[in-house]
């Protein structure tokens, strides 16, 4: 679901009487922005006024607070890890995702594991902005298939991270609607998913030992990982950032790589970015964007 779709949907929700979005003062909106940026960092650059306003009105109504500033005061009193803050942040961000979303990048990873990374005796991967986890599990399946096809029994681990703790809870459960698998190859469905009930499936046993999920804000000033990852995979997340946040996030992703490690982003997402220790790798596949850490 994109921002426009989310905004349209939220506008369908009736506002409680007395709350008039149109009459929101510039001062109240500025107070909201200052509060959100103070607690959540600069990630709010991506949000439009009408979008932020409608979400805050809605959250205020859910909390039975009758005016916008009352809801802001309520937020101010709560710690940032309070469920209300986390739900608000979740509703302010876009989480659309699906299994095997960008096949060219996954094929590229499969090939890298057979060539560039064939000498490794362990492997660490990071799935950045993983939303509800479909991306992380798709990567895990790809790695498992690649290593099995090479008869390589090496230890490997994938970290899925996101800003939203609401997303991460679902990602950790590994439980999805059966309908979400409809475009997945039958063999992959049989091997990697097991039924929970008529409507739901769960990632099958072994794979869960290789994946963990954690909250990371990739626009933070402090890089969360230092030279720890062989592969960093980041797709459809940087497009929502302003230029400064995007550049800081990419620098953080570069810092997370071991020398020789690979950053895989969606085409165009790192446009205009350069980094002293990273070089762009040209591939025949124009649908992927690859960078290698050189030292
Ligand atoms: C559109 S989803 C993309 C999901 C997945 N990567 C894919 O391509 O299907 C973008 C995700 O990035 C997360 N996100 C947004 N800002 C972030 C930040 N500053 N740090 C980490 N994750 C962030 C959102 O919460 C959301 O789940």
pLDDT in tens, 233-272: 999 999 888 888 899 999 999 999 999 999 999 988 999 9
DSSP 199-244: SEEEE-HHHHTTEEEEE--TTSSS-S-SS-EEEEEE-SSGGGS-HH
Q: Determine the pLDDT at residue 49.
A: 84
To the nearest whole percent, how much of the chain has pLDDT over 70? Answer: 90
Structure tokens belonging to residue 144 = 């498992």
pTM: 0.89
How many helices (H) does the chain have, and how many strands (E)?
Answer: 11, 10
Domain boundaries, the chain: 3-92, 103-293
Q: Determine the pLDDT at residue 15.
A: 44
Task: HSE, CB side, 13 Å, CA atoms: give it for residue 292.
Answer: 10
Over residues 108-158, the pLDDT tens digits come to: 999 999 999 999 999 999 999 999 999 999 999 999 999 999 999 999 999
Ligand 1 centroid – CA 43 distance (Å):
11
| Contact (Cβ atoms closer than 8 angstroms) between residue 56 and residue 97 | no
Q: Could you tell me where the DSSP H helices lie in the chain?
A: 3-11, 26-40, 49-62, 68-77, 83-92, 103-114, 134-149, 165-173, 186-192, 205-208, 243-255
Structure tokens belonging to residue 265 = 């982003």
The Cα–Cα gap between 84 and 210 comes to: 31
Q: Is the CB of 217 under 6 A from ligand 1?
A: yes
The Cα–Cα gap between 279 and 204 comes to: 37
Q: Is the CB of 93 under 6 A from ligand 1?
A: yes
Decide which of 3.30.930.10, 3.40.980.10, 3.40.50.150, 3.30.479.30 is the CATH code for 103-293: 3.40.50.150
Please, what CATH class does the domain formed by 3-92 belong to?
mainly alpha
Atom of ligand 1 nearest to the CA of 46: 16
Structure tokens belonging to residue 23 = 């009459």
Q: Is the CB of 91 under 6 A from ligand 1?
A: no
Q: Determine the pLDDT at residue 37.
A: 83
């Amino acid at each position: 679901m994109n921002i426009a779709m989310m905004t349209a949907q939220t506008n369908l929700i009736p506002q409680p009487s007395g709350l008039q979005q149109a009459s929101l003062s510039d001062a109240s909106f500025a107070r909201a922005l200052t509060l959100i940026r103070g607690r959540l960092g600069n990630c709010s650059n991506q949000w439009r006024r009408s979008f932020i306003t409608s979400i805050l009105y809605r959250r205020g109504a859910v909390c039975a607070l009758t005016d916008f500033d009352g809801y802001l005061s309520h937020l101010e009193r709560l710690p940032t890890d309070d469920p209300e803050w986390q739900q608000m942040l979740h509703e302010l961000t876009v989480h659309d995702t699906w299994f095997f979303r960008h096949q060219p990048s996954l094929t590229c990873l499969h090939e890298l594991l057979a060539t560039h990374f064939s000498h490794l005796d362990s492997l660490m991967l990071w799935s950045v902005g993983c939303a509800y986890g479909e991306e992380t599990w798709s990567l895990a399946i790809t790695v498992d298939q690649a290593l099995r096809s090479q008869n390589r029994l090496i230890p490997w681990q994938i970290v899925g991270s996101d800003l939203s703790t609401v997303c991460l809870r679902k990602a950790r459960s590994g439980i999805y609607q059966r309908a979400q698998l409809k475009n997945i190859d039958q063999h992959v469905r049989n091997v990697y998913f097991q039924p929970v009930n008529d409507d739901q499936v769960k990632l099958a046993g072994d794979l869960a030992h290789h994946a963990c999920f954690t909250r990371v804000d990739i626009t933070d000033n402090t890089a969360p990982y230092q030279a720890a990852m062989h592969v960093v995979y980041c797709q459809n997340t940087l497009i929502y950032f302003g230029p400064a946040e995007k550049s800081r996030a990419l620098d953080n992703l570069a810092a997370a790589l071991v020398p020789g490690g690979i950053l895989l982003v969606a085409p165009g997402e790192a446009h205009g970015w350069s980094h002293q220790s990273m070089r762009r790798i040209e591939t025949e596949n124009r649908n992927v964007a690859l960078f290698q850490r050189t030292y």
